[in-house]
Structure 1
Amino acid sequence: MSTKRLSSLAAILRHAVLLLTGALILLPFVWMISLSIKPPGEIFRASFSFWPSQFYGVENYTKALTEAPLPRYMINGLIVCSLILVLQILVCAPCAYALAKLRFPGRDLLFVMVLVGLLLPHQVLALPLFVFGYQLGILNTYTALIFPYVVSPFGIFLFRQFFKTIHDDVVHAARLDGLSELAIVWRILVPMALPAVIAFSIFSVVGHWNDLFWPLIAVRDQSLMPPPLGIMVFKNEEAGNDFGPLMAASTLIVLPLVIAFLTAQKWFVEGMTGGAVKQ
């Protein structure tokens, strides 16, 4: 068998695996949308169909928006995710710059601690964070939802790796021009690392928009609940066994993330796979 034929078969196999994997990933989302437009009687019907025989989308989405404070949950998610992202970038970019471009005693040890932080599940720290939040008196506030995530080991690691691809001559030239270290970070390196910033922003927003574990511990007031926790309240107290509005609410909550990713996917891929080497 010729090399060209083997390459064609390998390409077909790769595409088949990718298509199968993509279909398996998309199937739950397609099924969620299908349930969101079905009447109650069709959701648990024995026969299988994606499109309902009776379109019930208007009723389900109306209930999702009116029978539970879904807009409030989404506003809470927007506030919390935005503040977390801004604070993470403000903290992670200077830390990454120090680890990538500065030389000082203990730098390698600090980077090892960052890597250890990447390995630790956030749930491990839930109890000490809860006690600390209780002692500070910030539980059941927006602050309780934000402060555990201000320092992101993943953000420090990602920015450090991207900053290391930027030639040291750029930093030296900025110092000769009289820029301070912080000015170099914000005026030179961060704009050059924009793909990494966008990639990290997507990871951060998606992760905290979908976070259920910590909000379940930190807040009790319904007016402070982010979308995943609000969905639980919606299901238990409002929708009961009426899964059509529940799936409609889930679709509305997922939709902003899908739009954001599709809009920024080019920069996301570049930020995760490429660098900005400036000579």
Structure 2
Amino acid sequence: MNARVLHASRWILIAVAVVVSLFPFVWMVRTSLAPAADVASGRFWLSSFDFGNFARAWTKADLGQSVATGIIVTLSIVLLQLVTCVPAAYVLAKVPFRGRNVALGVVLGCLLVPTQVTLIPLFIGVNLAGLADSLPGLVVPFMTSAFGIFLLRQQMMSIPDGLLEAARTDGLGHFQTLRRVVVPMAGPGIAAFSVFSVFTHWNDYMWPLLIARSPSTITPPLALAIFQQGDTGFDYPALAAGAVIVTAPVVILFLVAQRRFVQGMSGAEIPG
């Protein structure tokens, strides 16, 4: 009896947590479809649906340009991070050399530094390099990731050394071993980090706020903030519709890649 009660209590707690977590998103979608008269009514069910909110958000907030910019910036960052983090993780995990523990300590030390602490030095460096208000200025400071190196290094540590020794016996060098053996076996971790990186940089607000000035460098979160602060800032249905548009890509990405994400973050094999 006690086991049944405990089991039921766990499911109740999980259900409550799910409801509490999803309620803001459900209310956002509800507001995005609400006519102006129903926004402040307090009723959950709407008298009608106003899909024109999405059209106003798309045009007035110039989401078309900002979404295109966000896609370019986010994919560029993810690609550069994979190009730099995967080899670095492989070296720290499987290539013995003097100072490897020191290098790993530096990576771990970088994880302890809050991102906000580095914003001003990064801004000064990007500004001196002439990259302010440009797409490279949004991308270059994040071309590598200490978290990515550490996560992938932990994933690669689980690869048996015998496989790598067999690859070297077959005449494969480090690059070929990395490409043919390590990357396929570390696929879940690479996928998990890619999803995490997309979430982080698609939703990044602080760095674009510092560096972006022209419409061609405005990212989606910054576009929504500008839209909110403008003359139409009290157009809550359009603002909620813009938030739905900006949120939808990362939600879809997570739903598509959730199995790989959970597998990569936990290191467990998911059947099926």
TM-score interval, smaller chain: over 0.9
> Which moves more between the two structures, 191-200 or 63-72?
63-72
- Check whether the contact 2:65–2:215 (CA below 8 A) recurs between aligned residues: no
- Counterparts of residues 125-204 of structure 1 (less than 5 Å): 125-204=118-197
From 228, 232, 235, give the equivalent of 1:239: 232
Question: Does residue 1:13 correspond to 2:13, yes or no?
Answer: no
Tell me how far 1:149 sits from its aligned partner.
Answer: 1.1
What secondary structure is seen at the aligned counterpart in 2 of 1:138? coil
Question: Does residue 1:51 correspond to 2:48, yes or no?
Answer: no
Tell me how far 1:22 sits from its aligned partner.
Answer: 1.3
Q: How big is each residue's C-alpha offset from its partner over 1:88-124, in whole Å with a ceiling of 9 and x where there is no partner?
A: 0110011101111111111112112211212211111
2:88, 2:2 → 1: CA distance? 48
Task: Please report the TM-score for the alignment, with normalisation by the length of structure 2.
Answer: 0.95
Q: Number of residues paired by the alignment?
A: 269
Q: How big is each residue's C-alpha offset from its partner over 1:34-66, in whole Å with a ceiling of 9 and x where there is no partner?
A: 111112222123xx222211322x110111122
Task: Please report the TM-score for the alignment, with normalisation by the length of structure 1.
Answer: 0.93
Tell me how far 1:202 sits from its aligned partner.
Answer: 0.9
1:197, 1:75 → 2: CA distance? 24
Tell me how far 1:7 sits from its aligned partner.
Answer: 2.5
From 18, 25, 28, give the equivalent of 1:22: 18
- The residue aligned with 2:210 is 217
Tell me how far 1:15 sits from its aligned partner.
Answer: 1.4
Identity of aligned residues (%): 39
- The residue aligned with 1:70 is 63
Tell me how far 1:273 sits from its aligned partner.
Answer: 1.0
- Check whether the contact 1:67–1:238 (CA below 8 A) recurs between aligned residues: no
2:194, 2:6 → 1: CA distance? 35
1:142 counterpart letter in structure 2: L
1:110, 1:245 → 2: CA distance? 49
Q: CA RMSD in A?
A: 1.3
Task: Extract unaligned runs of 5+ from structure 2.
Answer: none
1:49 counterpart letter in structure 2: R
1:140 counterpart letter in structure 2: D
